[in-house]
Amino acid sequence: MTVVELGPERCDALLRFFGDLPEGDLTFIKEEVTDPETVRSWATGESAGGRWVAVEGDEVTGYVAVRPLPGWSDHVGEIRLVVAPSSRGSGLGRELARQALVGAVASGLSKLVVEVVAEQGPALALFGDLGFTGEALLKDHIRDRSGELRDLMVLAHHVSDTWAGMDSVGIADELGAPAG
């Protein structure tokens, strides 16, 4: 398995990946990921950058994006991550989330947020292990495809807090991270 930046050559495989996701997973993805024009736009033009895929051979097994928020929140990036059901529990989600963190730091973002359905314990644990903390619990905030209301957790990662400790012992310089 290799994590690579999304390019035009991977769009068809990414469309197959999204098309193979269970219906329940698609409920919690904000973008229209089964639309070929949408997915192809991610690899070209203004939408390019900040998106990576995990690949095994010609198949995509995971996807992560860091999307900068607009306007007065342009220092904040939102992480969107999904892993193929057959690859869950393998560490792939953690690898993709790490790639998102590195990409966000490299692009100058100072805060990252991720929205996780409150019942998704493994996802909450994964992001918690990477330094994300809870910022909000939104009760009955989303409706799944069967019409059931779900709570949404907003987790945040403040880049400067994480890198400040590393900077004090010189690790941040080695990683090319911003000084705290």
Q: What are the structural domain ranges in the chain?
A: 2-175
In the structure encoding, which two tokens stand for residue 74, read together? 């342009």
| pLDDT over threshold 90, residue 23 | no
Q: What is the pLDDT of residue 162?
A: 65
Q: Across all residues in the chain, what is the average pLDDT?
A: 87
DSSP state of 28: T
Domain 2-175 class, CATH top level = alpha beta
Residue 179 is predicted with a pLDDT of 46
Report whether pLDDT(47) > 80. Answer: no
Q: Cα–Cα distance between 149 and 66 in angstroms, integer?
A: 26
d(CA 75, CA 52): 20
Comparing 4-8, 26-30, 108-112, the range with the smallest average pLDDT is 26-30
Dihedral sign computed on CA atoms, order 59, 116, 36, 65: negative
The percent of residues in the chain predicted with pLDDT above 90, rounded, is 69
Neighbours of 149 (CB within 10 A): 10
pLDDT recorded at residue 171:
40
pLDDT at 24: 78
* Overall average pLDDT of the 80-93 stretch: 94
Quote the percentage of the chain above a pLDDT of 70: 87
Residue 13 pLDDT > 60, yes or no? yes
Question: Rounded to an integer, what distance in angstroms lies between the CA atom of residue 14 and that of residue 39?
Answer: 8
Q: Pick the residue with more confidence: 45 or 153? A: 153
pLDDT of amino acid 177: 52
What is the predicted pLDDT for the residue at 174? Answer: 46
Q: Average pLDDT, stretch 28-53?
A: 86
Give the pLDDT score at 169: 40
pLDDT at 20: 95
